């Protein structure tokens, strides 16, 4: 996949965060945001900083980008697409 497709997928990730926050706040349905946050925290602890620092990103920016975008950030970086 090329960079434009990955950017489109990353926009979808941000939209997913928005939907889960809406469900949590408006409908008192926190389960999706808990799952999404747990997945992204797991990635931010295990793989995001390793991949990011290997490719010239700081540890802090790697963690933040992984928390926001998850694998849609670190996988293209790892493959050299972004």
Supply the pLDDT for residue 70: 95
Predicted TM-score of the model (pTM):
0.88
Give residue 58's domain range: 3-79
For 13, counting Cβ atoms within 10 Å of its Cβ (0-12 exposed, 13-18 middle, 19+ buried), the class is: middle
The pair of three-digit structure tokens given for residue 77, joined into one six-digit string: 């970086």
pLDDT tens digits, one per residue of 14-46: 999 999 999 999 999 999 999 999 999 999 999
Element (H, E) at 42: helix 31-46
Give me the number of domains the chain comprises: 1
Supply the pLDDT for residue 10: 95
């Amino acid at each position: 996949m090329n960079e434009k497709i990955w950017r489109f997928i990353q926009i979808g990730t941000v939209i997913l965060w928005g939907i889960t926050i809406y469900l949590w706040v408006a409908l008192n349905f926190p389960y999706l945001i808990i799952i999404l946050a747990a997945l992204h925290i797991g990635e931010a602890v295990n793989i995001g900083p390793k991949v990011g620092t290997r490719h010239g990103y700081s540890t802090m920016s790697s963690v933040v980008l992984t928390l926001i975008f998850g694998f849609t950030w670190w996988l293209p970086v790892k493959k050299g697409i972004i």
